[in-house]
Structure 1
Amino acid sequence: YKINIIDTPGLDDFIGEVVVGLRVADTGVMVLNAQHGVEVGTELIWNYVDQFSKPVLFAINQLDHEKSNFEATVEEAKRRFGKAFTLMQYPLNEGVSFNAIIDLLKMTMYKFGPNGGKPEKLPIPDAEKAKAEELHNQLVEIAAENDEKLMELYFEKGSLDEDEMRQGIKQGMMNHQVFPVFCISAKKDMGSGRMMGFIDNVAPSAGEMPAEKSVDGREIRGEVNGQPVVFIYKSLIEPHLGNLALFKVISGEITAGLDFTNADNGSAERINQLFILDGKNRNGVAKLTAGDLGATLKLKNTHTNQTLYGKGTAVKIQPIEFPEPRISVAIVTKNKGDDEKLSTVLADINREDPTLLIEYSRELKQVILHGQGELHLQATKWRLENIYKMHVDFEKTRIPYRETIRRAARTTYRHKKQSGGAGQFAEVAMMIEPFHDGYKVPGEFNLRGKEEIALDWGGKLIYHNCIVGGAIDTRFMPSILKGVMDKMQEGPTTGSYVRDINVYIYDGKMHPVDSNDMAFKIAGMMAFKESFQQADPKLLEPIYELEILVPEEQMGDVMSDLNTRRAVIIGMDSHKTYQVIKARVPLSELDKYSNTLRSLTQGKASFKTRYANYELVPAEVQKKLAEEYQKHAKDDH
């Protein structure tokens, strides 16, 4: 047998690694801590296990710990995962004296020495026989339930032999109706060998798994004699070697020198070297076949989530859907000379880790990293500094506030500039008012034209030409609009984008020589600024929906913290053994929330966020932000 093992982090900060592993593995192993039972991280990962519907088994670890509680862990897991949570073993001498396992499939006791390793096979002690027989019979029934022929055999014989039980358990695993449970102490090397033996003999092989799906719905079966197709599930940048592509062979046989086409971009690629990975070591191989995992170096234009296909029909495998980021930081290089290099390096890191998104925000004038949690972002910083030798700082991301108005105001602004020769002259009379659906043009204006603009940053600008008697030539109206738009990109109150405004140009003056596009652009900008300042300007802030999964005993601490963040609780629910809190929270109040939640709950809670809408900020917050903006504006001048 050959088993490829993908080890993934247990922290939800690195959930992207778990998603990748589940996508390409044939069987998953969920590890539960016998001290803590089903934790929030387990819940989060299980959502993806459920989504992929892959066969899965459980390993209950740390049975040698003084606070180990196998029975409580099993009961909690059965409440969460249902009757599919199926005991294959149970421990003896649980706690610091843990040294034996009763195996319910083989009906044998495995006893370990003080240093673990290969156990001694012994008869089940008399004191355990009744319990073991009862649990064994339950296992027989579960195995029979998953196969009609086995069920008939069970009714006929009253039991099943070991091979028949394996067959039924395998079918149950493939149907996602049996989750075998094993007992281990990884630290003392106890029990993991028996679990590996079960994977060898029972867990479905790649050839027994359902076919992969292409993006157009075709089934790609894992046949060795099929068309060569590989799926790149991860990319790594190897110092001095370049791109190391990790892939799964979906179908066919792969040998060095084989030519492929990239289904995503049409690039021609040749796999010149084939490796299998063993920790940090790359071991060369002559070929890999359907279902196997491998790696190759120096693909020219192929990265994570892309498909390569050999001679035959074009095929593109369904890509991995990565989770949305949950937190953000701004990144600043300490050495200004590294600014250009930063873009290249971050692009490389994103190819390795698609759950880390990079945004170059023109609005906020920041380079922003979006990640899964504080540890995820700190790990990225470590890589930048230790692998790429770039020293960077993380800063708080600025908040994308929006400015708007609460009432109408009007201004007449004259721009006049004379400095010998041709000068500049433009006068613009403007009224502005809040925009809302179903608004009506004031009766005092004679509407000659209207332009409705859906703003890139959200909201609308409705620009009305109400000029009568030729006070301003039509050819200057676009210049006035450009001035208004320029000012809307840097609002008068805090420098934030402006949204949801009606603008009426209803009068003005021109000069036969000095009026030009630039003059009217400036007049339009200044008329808008002055009108805006008189129209009861208001600041809007982004509101996010926050959903927290938390143990009931820690609800109070989490709720108290939310009250300090201007949160509005919109719902509470229960989910198995956890409570679900739903709230609406200003984005400005979510800074470092993952750290806070981890500290409040000892890492037992998780959360996710989603943008909701913009709402008015409290008056005292607006006053503070406006004062800070004016101070910085003076300092810049």
Structure 2
Amino acid sequence: MKLYDEKHIKNLVLIGAAKSGKTTLAETMLFEAGIINKRGRVEEGNTVSDYHEIEQERGSSVYATNMHTEWRDYKINIIDTPGLEDFIGEVVAAIRVCDTALIVLNSQYGVEVGTMQLWDYVDKYKKPTILAINQLDTEQANFQATLDEASAFFGKAVTLMQYPVNAGPGFNSIIDLLKMVMYQFPDDGGKPQKLPIPDAEMERAKQLHNELVEKAAENDDELMELYFEKGNLDEDELRKGLKIGMMKHEVFPVFCVDAKNNMGSGRLMGFIDNVAPSAIEMPPEKSDNGEDIPCNIAGPTCLFVYKTLLEPHIGKLNFFKVLSGEVKVGDELTNDKGDTVERINQLFIADGKNRQAVDRLKAGDIGCTLKLKNTLVNHTLASKQFPLQVAAIEFPSPKVRAAIIAKKKSDEEKLGEVLAEIHMEDPTLEIEYNRELKQVILHAQGELHLAVTKWRLANIYGMEVELVPAKIPYRETIQKQAMANYRHKKQSGGAGQFAEVYMKIEPYYEGMPALKDYPVRDSEEIDLNWGGKLIFNNCIVGGAIDARFLPSILKGVMEKMQEGPLTGSYVRDIRVSVYDGKMHPVDSNDISFKIAGMMAFRNAFHEAAPQLLEPIFDMEATVPNESMGDVMGEIQSHRAIIMGMDNVNALQIIKAKVPQAELDDLYASLRNVSQGRVKIQANFSEYGNVPSEIQRKLSEQYAKHEEHALTS
């Protein structure tokens, strides 16, 4: 294929809610450019983009898919992305490496929740943005309502470039306000006729054209002077002003398309060629220490890996953007994170599952390579003389969790390896091996994300698994002081076991007064690995217990604190004072005092008003005004405390403290009551008291479990 320089490469990411028509638009763009000779259909599972089995089964995108077109001496790299928040990691990575975002809006539904959720990342990176209003041939198509919603959500940057003459069944005509012509398409789409604007539309078209001219002029002082001088701008001047506005994130051009019937995609691609910025015109990427990495073909080679894909029968594919210089087959590049030198044995341009081999790629281009040894997402490959790391993609935090169990014992060991592979592909699926809870926990973006992971394990790896609720990492503590003693005595033939320990325990808090009841000979302050502290006081006088046995008593206390008396959870924030005891000159030993210390602590704990603690999260739920009441009610029904509310545009931000035990169910409930129009962020805040009725229930469950364990 033709080798394009950095000025003639455009990188485009398709974004939009599920069913907005992104995949169909990508298919039409490839067809119009002659990359494919027949358009596939999502319903038939034969599109270039949605080629994975799970996508064909579901009828929607799960992965971001790379494609390209060549249109009038420009190469347009296209990444088609999923429209559901569960697969947000695919979208975020694609936004990061593309230079223009094309947001596809369904004219039947306007600006949908999926679009709102994805917009945050486009806005974060300030990517030049184009809006394409699609599906204009449908009965429910409403171009003006969609445009109004876009203006309300995206703001005054929304800039009308085209409008439909006859939206709805039979749609075939568009007024273009830049070229001031009417495009009329044949019934089967394709190349339109250029016709004069009808008299009935001329007044409206002129008014909207003038608004477009003013919008283009206001982005540049020189253009504004020309506009005042001439009263108008020619087509090239308009393009210049629109590009400047797009680069400032102050102009979002709006186009009309009917991707299914192949209407409007050619004009859209022409605009991308002529106006959308190339990589060389964009602000330079940053290294992780803040240095600029200019997009310069004469600079040192630098590739940024943004996606890893494991393809059956092929192996590991790494997708990258060439940020600087050029990469050639046979190059050896340094990967500081992977602590290795990687040889580039093959280079490809990807179009879905098809790959076209090339011998080099230049700055600004996107490609992929096979079988790199230690290179993963967010790694940088650079010239040996200029090693560097590009600032990493920041992926969103998980929102739901579930424990995973292999149904076959023979799969248990293999499961860990497979999950590591899946995480390598999908950094938004986090794997936690929790020793405390004795569970392998998946942290995901949503229930669908978990379901697709389960599907992949079954259908790609042949591994049946079960997803069960993840346990809660409760903590135990006490609310008052208590005293207890325990005598451990065991005689069995030869040497026996004997130890007796007297102990006082108290709730610990920072700044608490020193112990007054007994003289403290020495004290040990222990920062517990699971949070909180243990203060261990040796108050023994008169040699009642030999000093060499105190560490054994502490060991017994610590063992019981690792499996608390109430629910088997970790114990925290307690002061223990050992003030008396007895020992035997022959039968006392370390194991005896460890047991006596453990049991004395256990007995005292039950008398000290034990309190179960649960993790509390700070949660923010962002919802449209119309969903406010339902969302508030649902939050309060999950033991949450509302802390405050903020208003941003047409959205409400509800701040609440929510127990972790309620979070997973709450997330699903909020998506349901808001019809998916909620965005949730939650971060650990603190441990708080569990209500008494829940504590009693959990304590009884643990007691039954312990009893069963002893009798089985």
User: Normalization by structure 1: what TM-score?
Assistant: 0.97
Conservation of the 8 A alpha-carbon contact between 2:636 and 2:642: no
Superposition misfits of 4+ residues, deviation over 4 angstroms: none
Match of 1:597 among 645, 662, 670: 670
SS in 1 for 2:183: strand
Give 1:462 deviation, angstroms: 1.2
- Alignment map for 1:55-134 (pairs within 5 Å): 55-134=128-207
SS in 2 for 1:436: coil
Q: Which residue of 1 aligns with 2:661?
A: 588
Q: Which residue of 2 aligns with 1:276?
A: 349
Q: Which residue of 1 aligns with 2:384?
A: 311
Amino acid of the structure 2 residue aligned with 1:428: V
User: CA separation in 2, counterparts of 1:122 and 1:479?
Assistant: 94
Q: Which residue of 1 aligns with 2:107?
A: 34
Q: Which residue of 2 aligns with 1:249?
A: 322
SS in 2 for 1:118: coil
User: CA separation in 2, counterparts of 1:434 and 1:224?
Assistant: 66
User: CA separation in 2, counterparts of 1:626 and 1:566?
Assistant: 19
Is there any run of 5+ residues in structure 1 with no aligned partner, and where?
Answer: none
Give 1:316 deviation, angstroms: 0.8
User: CA separation in 1, counterparts of 2:265 and 2:595?
Assistant: 75
Q: Which residue of 2 aligns with 1:232?
A: 305
What is the CA deviation profile of residues 450-474 of structure 1, one whole-angstrom value per residue up to 9, with x for unaligned ones?
Answer: 2112222221111111111222222
User: CA separation in 2, counterparts of 1:623 and 1:65?
Assistant: 58
Q: Work out whether 1:531 is the aligned partner of 2:612.
A: no
User: CA separation in 1, counterparts of 2:81 and 2:97?
Assistant: 13
Q: Which residue of 1 aligns with 2:332?
A: 259
Q: Work out whether 1:557 is the aligned partner of 2:630.
A: yes
User: CA separation in 1, counterparts of 2:291 and 2:651?
Assistant: 40
What is the CA deviation profile of residues 69-95 of structure 1, one whole-angstrom value per residue up to 9, with x for unaligned ones?
Answer: 222222222222221111111122122
User: CA separation in 1, counterparts of 2:261 and 2:667?
Assistant: 33
Amino acid of the structure 2 residue aligned with 1:358: I
Among all aligned residue pairs of Structure 1 and Structure 2, give the percentage whose two residues are the same amino acid: 62
Q: Work out whether 1:339 is the aligned partner of 2:412.
A: yes
Q: Which residue of 2 aligns with 1:372?
A: 445
Amino acid of the structure 1 residue aligned with 2:518: F
Give 1:531 deviation, angstroms: 0.6
Match of 2:706 among 622, 633, 636: 633
Amino acid of the structure 1 residue aligned with 2:289: D
Conservation of the 8 A alpha-carbon contact between 2:634 and 2:666: no
Q: Which residue of 2 aligns with 1:546?
A: 619
Amino acid of the structure 2 residue aligned with 1:293: I
Q: Work out whether 1:483 is the aligned partner of 2:538.
A: no
Give 1:603 deviation, angstroms: 2.1
User: CA separation in 1, counterparts of 2:707 and 2:142?
Assistant: 64
Q: Work out whether 1:521 is the aligned partner of 2:598.
A: no
Q: Work out whether 1:443 is the aligned partner of 2:516.
A: yes
Amino acid of the structure 2 residue aligned with 1:236: L
User: CA separation in 2, counterparts of 1:387 and 1:229?
Assistant: 34
User: CA separation in 1, counterparts of 2:640 and 2:660?
Assistant: 10
What is the CA deviation profile of residues 164-209 of structure 1, one whole-angstrom value per residue up to 9, with x for unaligned ones?
Answer: 1111111111111111111222232222222111111110111211
User: Structure 1 stretch 524-533 or stretch 110-119: which is displaced more?
Assistant: 110-119
Give 1:62 deviation, angstroms: 2.4
User: CA separation in 2, counterparts of 1:40 and 1:472?
Assistant: 69
Q: Which residue of 2 aligns with 1:471?
A: 544
User: Structure 1 stretch 622-631 or stretch 234-243: which is displaced more?
Assistant: 234-243
Amino acid of the structure 2 residue aligned with 1:372: Q
Two-structure CA RMSD over aligned residues (Å): 1.5
Q: Which residue of 2 aligns with 1:152?
A: 225
What is the CA deviation profile of residues 124-163 of structure 1, one whole-angstrom value per residue up to 9, with x for unaligned ones?
Answer: 1111111111111111111112222222222222211101
Q: Which residue of 1 aligns with 2:71?
A: none
Amino acid of the structure 1 residue aligned with 2:279: A
What is the CA deviation profile of residues 579-616 of structure 1, one whole-angstrom value per residue up to 9, with x for unaligned ones?
Answer: 22222222212234343233222222222222222111
> Structure 1 residues 63 and 575 mapped into 2: Cα distance closer, same or farther (>3 Å)?
farther
User: CA separation in 2, counterparts of 1:452 and 1:193?
Assistant: 72
Amino acid of the structure 1 residue aligned with 2:350: L
Q: Which residue of 2 aligns with 1:2?
A: 75
Is there any run of 5+ residues in structure 2 with no aligned partner, and where?
Answer: 1-73
How many pairs align? 637
What is the CA deviation profile of residues 463-513 of structure 1, one whole-angstrom value per residue up to 9, with x for unaligned ones?
Answer: 111111222222222221111111111111111111111111111122222
User: Structure 1 stretch 232-241 or stretch 562-571: which is displaced more?
Assistant: 562-571
Conservation of the 8 A alpha-carbon contact between 2:349 and 2:366: yes
Give 1:426 deviation, angstroms: 1.6
Give 1:374 deviation, angstroms: 0.8
Give 1:57 deviation, angstroms: 1.1
Q: Which residue of 1 aligns with 2:55?
A: none
User: CA separation in 2, counterparts of 1:454 and 1:490?
Assistant: 17
Give 1:53 deviation, angstroms: 1.1
Amino acid of the structure 2 residue aligned with 1:309: A
Q: Work out whether 1:428 is the aligned partner of 2:501.
A: yes
User: CA separation in 1, counterparts of 2:390 and 2:128?
Assistant: 20
User: CA separation in 1, counterparts of 2:414 and 2:362?
Assistant: 40
User: CA separation in 1, counterparts of 2:666 and 2:79?
Assistant: 30
Q: Work out whether 1:615 is the aligned partner of 2:695.
A: no
SS in 2 for 1:166: helix
User: CA separation in 1, counterparts of 2:687 and 2:562?
Assistant: 17
SS in 1 for 2:77: coil
SS in 2 for 1:2: strand
User: CA separation in 1, counterparts of 2:101 and 2:286?
Assistant: 20
Match of 2:122 among 49, 53, 59: 49
User: CA separation in 2, counterparts of 1:181 and 1:485?
Assistant: 66
Give 1:514 deviation, angstroms: 2.2
Conservation of the 8 A alpha-carbon contact between 1:374 and 1:592: no
User: CA separation in 2, counterparts of 1:159 and 1:90?
Assistant: 21
User: CA separation in 2, counterparts of 1:609 and 1:545?
Assistant: 5
Give 1:14 deviation, angstroms: 1.2
SS in 2 for 1:198: helix
Give 1:302 deviation, angstroms: 0.8
User: CA separation in 1, counterparts of 2:220 and 2:417?
Assistant: 55
User: CA separation in 2, counterparts of 1:630 and 1:473?
Assistant: 35
Give 1:253 deviation, angstroms: 1.2
Conservation of the 8 A alpha-carbon contact between 2:622 and 2:651: yes
Conservation of the 8 A alpha-carbon contact between 1:546 and 1:582: yes
User: Structure 1 stretch 138-147 or stretch 554-563: which is displaced more?
Assistant: 554-563
User: CA separation in 1, counterparts of 2:185 and 2:517?
Assistant: 94
SS in 2 for 1:225: coil
User: CA separation in 2, counterparts of 1:43 and 1:611?
Assistant: 25
Give 1:317 deviation, angstroms: 0.7
Q: Work out whether 1:502 is the aligned partner of 2:575.
A: yes
User: CA separation in 2, counterparts of 1:488 and 1:101?
Assistant: 73
What is the CA deviation profile of residues 386-433 of structure 1, one whole-angstrom value per residue up to 9, with x for unaligned ones?
Answer: 111110010011111111111111111111222222222221111111
SS in 2 for 1:54: coil
User: CA separation in 1, counterparts of 2:266 and 2:454?
Assistant: 38
Amino acid of the structure 1 residue aligned with 2:571: V
SS in 2 for 1:6: strand
Give 1:110 deviation, angstroms: 1.3
Conservation of the 8 A alpha-carbon contact between 1:374 and 1:594: no
User: Structure 1 stretch 165-174 or stretch 93-102: which is displaced more?
Assistant: 93-102
Q: Which residue of 2 aligns with 1:195?
A: 268
User: CA separation in 2, counterparts of 1:307 and 1:535?
Assistant: 56
Q: Work out whether 1:460 is the aligned partner of 2:515.
A: no
Q: Which residue of 2 aligns with 1:161?
A: 234
- Alignment map for 1:567-582 (pairs within 5 Å): 567-582=640-655
Give 1:381 deviation, angstroms: 0.9
Give 1:554 deviation, angstroms: 2.6
User: CA separation in 2, counterparts of 1:632 and 1:314?
Assistant: 56
Amino acid of the structure 2 residue aligned with 1:99: N
SS in 1 for 2:619: strand
